[in-house]
């Protein structure tokens, strides 16, 4: 992979230097290829299979679990539990209780870990008295990828099973995110790169002595280079969100302050089109607290407001409305923009998707803004709703759990 990236960069370098294109084209290309190399060469540390040394009896597979092993069990960072032949949990360590969010002692294994693969491995361990090694997925609101080892053990001459879990979710997600990043960015950058190379060849050939056309084409090259920069920045932002998607945020976040900060960041863009942004006045700072990550929630408002401004005409209004409910806080961003075609509403939060209406307003958008919003909302255990009418405007509604509720 690294040799392919190096070859591609050398070709771009030669084309750029031979055509006399601006130096920032070379810098953008260098940054892009370095980014691809970094993400493809960075290895994710693999979890080594956990080896537990317990007191062995004369029989090779007959492992006795005694008081000497107690600290290994209770203090181990890996979730561990001991199960009897009826699959009832006799004991579980702190790591396992934290993993499932409750004390598991006395519960049936199926109520804690719903996995047919694990049940089969456990049955096989009891029957054949052999160590089992299994990988399975816990299908919940957030899927978890688990590597598990099952050991037959003896406690006071009774047979039990010791189960050890290794959560590989972060590694699996990280690998997928990096793979998707390289695939998506490589695909999306083909268009601007092709345009840049094409106009450079034109400047170096037919338009070589035409100063008016050269100036026109250089402006197009600059526009395409800026488009590349937006694609890389937005894709990096989406990648960061996806990598943290399985880590629950628990900060106490003032929703009103996030919205206010986002308004300040897009103020100049709104002023250029004389667009006014307002709140519903009954709420102020220090009232609306949600459970989450402040930077990411602010990013939700920034993306929604940026879209609302971009796809609205001059002298219109954008309103942010808050609704304080029992367990959640809902907020809406309402605009008077061009709206979204009915058939496109279900797809506007897909990465790189751009509706037909949007293309009329901003041709060089990355198409990632709403995808970033969707993933942040998902990470915060919230919901995103989109209501729009073409030619009238759009309403984006999001509800997030209150701080202190189910935390």
Instruction: Note the pLDDT tens digit of each residue in 156-211.
Output: 778 898 889 888 877 777 677 666 666 666 666 676 777 788 888 888 888 777 88
pLDDT, tens digit, 9 for 90 and up, residues 26-60: 555 555 555 555 555 544 343 333 434 444 433 44
**Residue 316's pLDDT band (cuts 50, 70, 90):** very high
Architecture of domain 55-167: 2-Layer Sandwich (3.30)
Q: Percentage of the chain surpassing pLDDT 70?
A: 69
Integer Cα distance of 141 and 112 in angstroms: 15
Instruction: Please give the CATH number for the structural domain made up of 249-407.
Output: 3.30.565.10
Sorted by sequence, the CB contacts under 8 Å of residue 266 that are 6+ apart come out as: 277, 302, 305, 306, 309
Residue 373: burial class (beta carbons within 10 Å; 0-12, 13-18, 19+): buried
Residue 67 φ/ψ region, left for φ over 0, alpha for ψ in the -120 to 50 degree band, beta for the rest: alpha
pLDDT at 278 over 60: yes
pLDDT at 62 (0 to 100):
45
pLDDT at 348 over 60: yes
Provide the terminal-to-terminal Cα distance of the chain, rounded to the nearest Å.
43
Residue 111, Cβ neighbours under 10 Å: how many?
Answer: 12
Integer Cα distance of 319 and 328 in angstroms: 20
Q: What is the mean pLDDT of residues 84-95?
A: 88
**Residue 20's pLDDT band (cuts 50, 70, 90):** low
pLDDT at 53 (0 to 100):
42
Residue 81, Cβ neighbours under 10 Å: how many?
Answer: 26
pLDDT at 116 over 50: yes
Nearest residue to 305 (alpha-carbon basis) of 283, 268, 277: 277
pLDDT at 54 (0 to 100):
42
CA distances from 152 to 64, 101, 118 (A): 9, 26, 14
Return mean pLDDT, the chain: 76
Residue 395: burial class (beta carbons within 10 Å; 0-12, 13-18, 19+): middle
**241 neighbors 379 (Cβ within 8 angstroms):** yes
**Strand locations in 218-368 (E):** 251-254, 276-279, 289-292, 317-324, 328-334
**323 neighbors 331 (Cβ within 8 angstroms):** yes
**Residue 318's pLDDT band (cuts 50, 70, 90):** very high
Could you state, in order of their start, the residue ranges of all structural domains in the chain? Answer: 1-47+170-247, 55-167, 249-407
pLDDT, tens digit, 9 for 90 and up, residues 216-231: 888 888 877 777 777 7
Q: What is the mean pLDDT of residues 372-378?
A: 86
Residue 68: burial class (beta carbons within 10 Å; 0-12, 13-18, 19+): exposed
Q: What is the mean pLDDT of residues 9-35?
A: 56
Sorted by sequence, the CB contacts under 8 Å of residue 190 that are 6+ apart come out as: none
Q: What is the mean pLDDT of residues 320-340?
A: 88
Q: What is the pTM of this model?
A: 0.51
Kindly report the CATH class assigned to 1-47+170-247. mainly alpha
pLDDT at 140 (0 to 100):
65
Integer Cα distance of 189 and 148 in angstroms: 41
pLDDT at 270 over 80: yes
Q: What is the mean pLDDT of residues 329-353?
A: 80
pLDDT at 5 over 60: no
């Amino acid at each position: 992979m690294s040799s392919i990236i190096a070859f591609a960069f050398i070709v771009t370098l030669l084309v750029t230097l031979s055509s006399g294109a601006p130096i920032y084209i070379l810098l953008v290309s260098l940054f892009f290829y370095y980014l691809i190399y970094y993400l493809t060469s960075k290895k994710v540390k693999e979890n080594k299979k956990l080896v537990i040394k317990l007191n062995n009896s004369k029989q090779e597979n007959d492992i006795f679990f005694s008081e000497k092993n107690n600290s290994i069990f209770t203090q181990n960072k890996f979730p561990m539990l001991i199960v009897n032949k009826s699959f009832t949990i006799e004991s579980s360590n702190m790591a396992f209780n934290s993993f499932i969010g409750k004390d598991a002692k006395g519960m049936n294994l199926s109520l804690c870990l719903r996995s047919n693969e694990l049940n089969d491995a456990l049955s096989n361990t009891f029957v054949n008295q052999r160590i089992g090694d299994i990988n399975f997925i816990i299908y919940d609101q957030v899927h978890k990828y688990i590597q598990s080892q099952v050991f037959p053990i003896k406690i006071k001459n009774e047979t039990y099973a010791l189960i050890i879990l290794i959560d590989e979710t972060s590694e699996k997600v990280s690998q997928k995110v990096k793979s998707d990043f390289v695939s998506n960015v490589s695909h999306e950058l083909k268009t601007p790169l092709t345009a840049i190379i094409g106009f450079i060849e034109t400047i170096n050939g037919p338009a070589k002595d035409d100063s008016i056309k050269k100036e026109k084409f250089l402006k197009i090259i600059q526009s395409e280079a800026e488009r590349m920069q937006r694609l890389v920045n937005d894709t990096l932002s989406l990648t960061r969100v996806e990598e943290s998607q399985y880590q629950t945020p628990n900060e106490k976040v003032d929703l009103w302050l996030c919205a206010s900060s986002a308004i300040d960041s897009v103020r100049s863009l709104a002023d250029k089109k004389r667009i006014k942004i307002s709140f519903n006045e009954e709420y102020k700072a220090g009232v609306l607290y949600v459970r989450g990550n402040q930077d990411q929630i602010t990013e939700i408002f920034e993306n929604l407001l940026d879209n609302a401004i971009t796809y609205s005409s001059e002298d219109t209004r954008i309103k942010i409305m808050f609704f304080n409910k029992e367990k959640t806080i809902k907020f809406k961003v309402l605009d008077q923009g061009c709206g979204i075609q009915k058939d496109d509403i279900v797809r506007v939060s897909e990465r790189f998707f751009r509706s037909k209406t949007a293309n009329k307003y901003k041709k060089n958008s990355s198409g990632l803004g709403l995808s970033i919003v969707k993933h942040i909302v998902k990470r915060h255990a919230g919901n995103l709703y989109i209501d729009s009418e073409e030619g009238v405007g759009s309403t984006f509604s999001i509800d997030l759990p209150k701080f202190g509720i189910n935390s």
